[in-house]
Amino acid sequence: MQSFDTEGNPIKGKTAFALKTIKNGTGTLKIHHISLLANPVRRLDEAHFTVMGQGIASVRLEVFGLSGAKLFDSGFQAGDAVAWPLRTNNKSVANGVYLYVLSVRGREGELFRSEVRKIIVLR
């Protein structure tokens, strides 16, 4: 799978998707893209997600099994990055496909929730 940033430039070794601008009163949350470093995740202890944009106050990551069961919830973390430690219930997750949703909160209370995306763990 080839990924591109919002200007159409290829992003090597990352999964990314372009998003949009969200306005709420006077505030504006502008998201250029969200990237996941290395998908599939190999030989890493964490999966790292970064949101590129303007007006970002915090990011939340939720990870689900294919059955829909929630395996991880970071809660809102200040800044533009969040990581999944590839663990649930204090045990490493198995190789496989997982689903994730990223939520981004703006400085003025704007809220964006990404579409459901896939992450592959192969160690």
Q: How confident is the model at residue 3 (pLDDT cuts 50, 70, 90)?
A: very low
Domain count, the chain: 1
Contact between 108 and 31 (Cβ < 8 Å) = no
- What's the average model confidence in pLDDT over 76-88? 95
Name beta bridge partners: 28.
23
CA 123, CA 120: separation in Å to the nearest integer?
10
Type of residue numbered 57: A
Q: For residue 39, what are the domain limits?
A: 3-121
CA 15, CA 18: separation in Å to the nearest integer?
11
pLDDT of residue 4: 44
What is the CATH number for 105?
Answer: 2.60.40.1940
3-state per-residue secondary structure call for 67-120: CCCEEEECCCEECCEEEECCEECCEECCCEEEEEEEEEEECCCCEEECCCEEEE
pTM: 0.79
- What's the average model confidence in pLDDT over 15-36? 68
- Pull the structure tokens for residue 118: 């896939």
The percentage of the chain sitting over the pLDDT mark of 70, rounded to a whole number, equals: 78
Contact between 105 and 111 (Cβ < 8 Å) = yes
Q: Evaluate if residue 5 carries a pLDDT over 70.
A: no
